[in-house]
Structure 1
């Protein structure tokens, strides 16, 4: 990862390239900012629509309403860290960012990795709780979904702790003056993270299919529901591709430009 040999690693320009600190090349900076702005706008729009629908149809606050609000908070917070990283140079070549800005970027990169877990958990918990309510007539299925949510929480808590204290002292991730550093194998941490994401995405995608087929409704409605649920397959495909990009990023020679793709896929 970025501190494999200290925060100053992965900053050497290619042979013959002279860094331009005053006018760095816009590799993917604009794309990053535009995509994040659109994502924030869409997430906020859907969140407002959900609140409006909730107030109009059933004002009673349910558990999934709380998890949805918490998920929205962490998603916006995660995007805020990306905007901050862009402010410090994410999207430019690492060798065209001055050291003070580069160290600040690494600090916010660490913050984004810490925020990712709760954002992912509460988003999936919301989807699963809605699923449990839709299939509440199947008591065993609904109970199994709730058990899975608790299992998911149990899986995410140690992962969150590990990602938070991946290096001791934590400041060694962005401060090259820190000595006596002890780090966990960050490659394994990354792949544990993405493996959990793929597994849970697959479960969220596949579980509703047989349950929907058993519902007493016209075939046309069943197909419509399955088509909507199949959209979750896109999320799974994105997660798999993100895993591939993470594997490349771990050996990146241009961290600040290469990480943008992972930001967008997240």
Structure 2
């Protein structure tokens, strides 16, 4: 009768029957794609953010709170992505749990929790930056009130999620140490799912909020087309949020989490860079008019 392959040192879960465990050269998943997405995304997000900073400080001389928020969001995004890349580099993510020692799994758990905590202000500050931009778009009272409400929601759920991610267990270390058997934890799967759901909901809100105002604006058709194109590009963040939600739900209930979470981590890297790129779009018209005035034209 066949039995599951035994391992030494002990792994978190037993390997499937007949699987030859190799701690030194484990089977890998997603790390190469993760490196490429991180490298390309970091270059693009840094380039777009640099163009925004140059535009607001040198050309417009109006560097404001919304710009500072986006810069800080980029820093949190880089910190989040650096942790995920480190997990791939150290064979702590994208590796089967049965080819990982218990101390290594605890290391994976504490870094995933840290990345999750850092990612919340990345998204929250990027959205807050866009809301500050929205606030300046129109003097209409109903629009300003709507922006204030969404700001309050973004700030409130960001703090709530950070608290829930750090303190889901008593004792706190039970959140990442599987050797601690005493104590209790709330359903952490629900926390991660709700985080993704709320992000999708706020992304959709940010996408649709200015549409009624744009429709009423008296401006040349070419400018309206440009605005619609900008918001269409902005909708990519909604798409990535939805994809991340779809891929993360089954992975959270998978016993082999170190393997299953590798693909959702790639989508986090995509989204972290995309929110910075899309957040930089609204002010780049002035930049491109400056570097290529004949192509852009004064009426753009």
TM-score, normalization: structure 2?
Answer: 0.79
Partner of 2:121: 118
Query: CA deviation digits over 1:111-133, x for unaligned, max 9?
Result: 11111211111011111111222
- Give the alignment partner of residue 151 of structure 2, picking from 145, 149, 152: 149
Q: How does 1:22-33 map to 2 (within 5 A)?
A: 22-33=24-35
Aligned length: 258
Q: CA deviation at 1:76?
A: 0.9
1:102 and 2:105 correspond: yes
Is the Cα contact below 8 Å between 1:10 and 1:254 reproduced in 2? no
Q: Which runs of 5+ in 1 are unaligned?
A: 1-7
Q: CA deviation at 1:84?
A: 2.0
In structure 1, C-alpha distance between the alignment counterparts of 2:36 and 2:102, rounded to whole Å: 25
In structure 2, C-alpha distance between the alignment counterparts of 1:38 and 1:258, rounded to whole Å: 23
Specify the SS of the correspondent of 2:182: coil
Is the Cα contact below 8 Å between 1:88 and 1:101 reproduced in 2? no
Q: How does 1:174-189 map to 2 (within 5 A)?
A: 174-189=176-191
In structure 2, C-alpha distance between the alignment counterparts of 1:240 and 1:119, rounded to whole Å: 17
Q: CA deviation at 1:241?
A: 2.1
- Give the alignment partner of residue 76 of structure 2, picking from 68, 74, 77: 74
Q: CA deviation at 1:10?
A: 6.4
Q: CA deviation at 1:139?
A: 4.2
1:56 and 2:58 correspond: yes
Is the Cα contact below 8 Å between 1:77 and 1:115 reproduced in 2? yes
**Distance change (3 Å), C-alpha of 1:58 and 1:119:** same
In structure 2, C-alpha distance between the alignment counterparts of 1:174 and 1:153, rounded to whole Å: 26
Q: How does 1:181-200 map to 2 (within 5 A)?
A: 181-200=183-202
Bigger radius of gyration: 2
In structure 2, C-alpha distance between the alignment counterparts of 1:195 and 1:9, rounded to whole Å: 33
- Give the alignment partner of residue 39 of structure 1, picking from 35, 41, 52: 41
1:216 and 2:244 correspond: no
Is the Cα contact below 8 Å between 2:247 and 2:263 reproduced in 1? yes
Is the Cα contact below 8 Å between 2:110 and 2:176 reproduced in 1? yes
Is the Cα contact below 8 Å between 1:10 and 1:252 reproduced in 2? no
Partner of 1:128: 131
TM-score, normalization: structure 1?
Answer: 0.89
**Distance change (3 Å), C-alpha of 1:44 and 1:11:** farther
Q: How does 1:1-40 map to 2 (within 5 A)?
A: 11-40=13-42
Is the Cα contact below 8 Å between 2:175 and 2:185 reproduced in 1? no
Is the Cα contact below 8 Å between 1:28 and 1:92 reproduced in 2? no
In structure 2, C-alpha distance between the alignment counterparts of 1:220 and 1:36, rounded to whole Å: 35
In structure 2, C-alpha distance between the alignment counterparts of 1:218 and 1:56, rounded to whole Å: 28
Query: CA deviation digits over 1:156-208, x for unaligned, max 9?
Result: 22222111111222322332332422111123212221221111011111112
CA RMSD of aligned residues (A): 2.0
Q: Which runs of 5+ in 2 are unaligned?
A: 1-9, 269-300
